[in-house]
Amino acid sequence: MYRPLPRGSGAVRAARFPSAHRLGLLDYFLFQLTHHIRRSVMSHTRLPRSRAAAIAVASLLVLGGAAPALAAPGADLHHTTGTHYREPLPTSYTLPGDKTYPEGIARQQGTPYFYVGSTSDGTIYRGDVHQSATQVFLPGGQDGRVSVAGMKTDRAGRLIVAGGASGKVFVYDTRTRALLHVFDTGRTDTFLNDVALAPNGDAYISDSIHPALWHITAAELKSKQVQQPLDVGVDLTKSPMVYDDGFNGNGLVVTDNGRYVLLADYNDYAFYRVDLRTHQVVPIDLGGAKGVSGDGLLLQGDTLTAVTELDHPEGQISVLKLSHDYTKATLVRTVHGHGMHSPSTAAVDGCDLLIVNFQFQIADPVLPFNVVRVHV
């Protein structure tokens, strides 16, 4: 039952001045500061300059510190306290199906999305780096896309997908999911394996069976024509890169200056520099390093990262430093494990790599199929 307190009693003082124990220190300080200013105004007294300045500074500090909490109700505690932590990202992203056998991956910059393709039926999945499960983005079999390998997204929001043994490259709008282009080699003795983008917007596609480096120009990607021929960019027939039985041309990247393609020969544990102007092909000297293979390649400055499962079912990530002319490479370190199961390739996500666990030709794969996050 509410009962008014006697006038002038000590209880009134206690009620008007809550203790710091009952309020938080910040609330208590604000209460005392507000009360002191109110008393000064009501008594028509003028504060000394030094004291007024001190109160003003204290007001700014206290109110400034409280502002984030007031401006963002319900915000994450880490952000309101000024310690800008983020929730940890998932270490694994699952893919639906027990026969998916994913191979390629593309991380779309400026969005939280990445894309992964199935070699078994051509399904393309989309994942969000903040969520551990991926969803079907484009169903398998659509547009004649029955198997997919490497892929990349470009600055225009296009998803460029190598179609493996179909000899085709499929291009989609990631916003509308519409088919934009089908580039066709017109060949059956081919396996379009991976995609690399040049600074000028051109795309290059490796072929694991036919000795050619395929090329799509930026103008062709911008055109309204859907069905287009896929042209040879560099003929590798008479080059030092000898195509044998099995898989040859595989992972590839374009250098920052747009002059060269660095191409992995999966069969021979070798790498080549392909000059896009002169078409000269030069072996990259690995300095005696053994067992370095590139199913998937990434290039950041002078650092070349190669991902493979060849001889390493637990996965191998090789980090190499390149010479200024890209003709020599020094192995810096290798990474194994970290949840990798016969991986194929990777995409960069911040300071991490998103590694695709392909599990190629494994009859009893580790399920679910997934993409794992690895910090190298």
1 assigned to some structural domain: no
96 assigned to some structural domain: yes
251 assigned to some structural domain: yes
pLDDT of residue 354: 98
Last residue of a domain, one of 47, 80, 113: 80
34 assigned to some structural domain: yes
85 phi and psi angles, rounded to 5 deg: -90, 150
pLDDT of residue 130: 98
In tens digits, the chain (376 residues) has pLDDT values of 433 333 344 433 333 344 444 444 444 444 454 444 444 444 444 444 444 444 443 443 333 443 333 333 333 333 333 334 578 999 999 999 999 999 999 999 999 999 999 999 999 999 999 999 999 999 999 999 999 999 999 999 999 999 999 999 999 999 999 999 999 999 999 999 999 999 999 999 999 999 999 999 999 999 999 999 999 999 999 999 999 999 999 999 999 999 999 999 999 999 999 999 999 999 999 999 999 999 999 999 999 999 999 889 999 999 999 999 999 999 999 999 999 999 999 999 999 999 999 999 899 999 999 999 999 8
Residues 154 and 234 in one domain: yes
Residues 314 and 257 in one domain: yes
Residues 53 and 201 in one domain: no
Residues 6 or more apart whose Cβ sits within 8 Å of residue 156: 201, 221, 222
- Report how many domains make up the chain: 2
Residues 256 and 125 in one domain: yes
Burial of residue 64 (number of CB atoms within 10 Å: 0-12, 13-18, 19+): exposed
Residues 57 and 171 in one domain: no
Helix 49-71 with 25-42: angle, nearest 10 deg: 130
Residues 6 or more apart whose Cβ sits within 8 Å of residue 212: 232, 233, 234, 235, 236, 237
Distance, in Å, from the CA atom of 292 to the CA atom of 286, rounded to the nearest integer, reads 9
Which of 203, 205, 92 lies closest to 148, judged by CA?
Answer: 205
* Domain assignment of residue 67, given as a range: 10-80
Give the H or E element holding residue 136: strand 135-138
Residues 118 and 147 in one domain: yes
> CATH number of the domain that 227 lies in?
2.120.10.30
Q: Are 273 and 286 in contact (CB under 8 A)?
A: no
Last residue of a domain, one of 53, 80, 107: 80
Residues 367 and 312 in one domain: yes
β-sheet with 316-322: strand ranges across: 296-300, 303-308, 316-322, 329-336
pLDDT of residue 90: 97
Residues 23 and 75 in one domain: yes
Last residue of a domain, one of 34, 58, 80: 80
Give the H or E element holding residue 54: helix 49-71
Residues 231 and 286 in one domain: yes
Residues 75 and 143 in one domain: no
pLDDT of residue 376: 86
Residues 73 and 137 in one domain: no
Distance, in Å, from the CA atom of 138 to the CA atom of 292, rounded to the nearest integer, reads 34
126 assigned to some structural domain: yes
Which residue has 């195509």 as its token pair? 243
Fill in the DSSP letter of residue 91.
Answer: S
pLDDT of residue 50: 44
Which of 320, 313, 304 lies closest to 344, judged by CA?
Answer: 313
Distance, in Å, from the CA atom of 261 to the CA atom of 198, rounded to the nearest integer, reads 9
Peptide bond between residue 229 and the one before it cis (omega within 30 degrees of 0): no
141 assigned to some structural domain: yes
55 assigned to some structural domain: yes
pLDDT of residue 186: 97
222 assigned to some structural domain: yes
* Stated length of the chain: 376
Residues 169 and 296 in one domain: yes
Which residue has 């009134």 as its token pair? 12
2 Rama sector, left if φ>0, alpha if ψ -120 to 50, beta otherwise: beta
